[in-house]
Amino acid sequence: MKLFDVYPLFNINIVKGNACQTYDDQGTEYLDLYGGHAVISVGHTHPYYVQKLTEQLNSLSFYSNSVINKLQVELATKLGKQSGYDDYNLFLINSGAEANENALKLASFYNGRKKIVAFKKAFHGRTSAAARVTDNPKIIAPINDNISVEYLPVNDIEAVRKSLKKNDVCAVIIEGIQGVGGIVVPDVEFLQALREECTKTNTILIIDEVQSGYGRTGKFFAHQHADIKPDLITIAKGMGNGFPMGGVLISPMFEAVHGMLGTTFGGNHLACAAGIAVLDIMKAEKLIENAAKIGEYLKSELQKIPQIKEVRGLGLMIGMEFEQPIKELRSKLLYEQKVFTGASGTNVIRLLPPLCLSKADVNIFLERFKKCLE
Phi, psi of 74 (to 5 degrees): -60, -45
C-beta of 35: minimal distance to ligand PLP in Å?
A: 12
Cβ proximity to ligand PLP: between 147 and 372 the closer is 147
Distance CA 63, CA 272 (A): 12
| Nearest Cα residue to 356 out of 295, 311, 267 | 295
Nearest distance from C-beta of residue 48 to ligand PLP, angstroms: 24
Q: Of how many residues is the chain composed? A: 374
Cα separation, 152 vs 354, in Å, equals 32
DSSP state of 226: G
Residue closer to ligand PLP, measured from CB, 37 or 312: 37
Give the nearest distance from C-beta 116 to ligand PLP in angstroms. Answer: 14
240, 71 contact by CB (below 8 A): no
28: CB partners within 8 A, 6+ apart: 338
Handedness of CA 216, 120, 146, 251 (dihedral sign): positive
CB of 210: closest distance to ligand PLP in angstroms?
Answer: 4
Chain position whose Cβ is nearest to ligand PLP: 96
Instruction: Judge contact between 148 and 116, C-beta under 8 A.
Output: yes
DSSP summary character for residue 307: T
For residue 316, how many other CB atoms are within 10 A of its CB? 30
Cα 248–chain centre separation:
13
C-beta of 295: minimal distance to ligand PLP in Å?
Answer: 18
Closest to 206 measured CA to CA, from 249, 239, 168: 249
Nearer to ligand PLP, 22 or 95 (CB): 95
* Beta carbon of residue 241, minimum distance to ligand PLP (angstroms, whole number): 14
| Contact positions vs ligand PLP (CB under 6 A) | 37, 95-97, 100, 123-125, 175, 179-180, 208, 210-211, 236
Burial of 78 (0-12, 13-18, 19+ CB in 10 A): middle
* Cβ proximity to ligand PLP, 180 vs 282, nearer residue: 180
Residue nearer to ligand PLP on the CB measure, 91 or 369:
91
The residue among 125 and 230 lying less far from ligand PLP, judged by its C-beta, is: 125
Q: Between residues 107 and 362, which has the closer beta carbon with respect to ligand PLP?
A: 107
Minimum distance of ligand PLP from residue 212's CB (angstroms)? 7
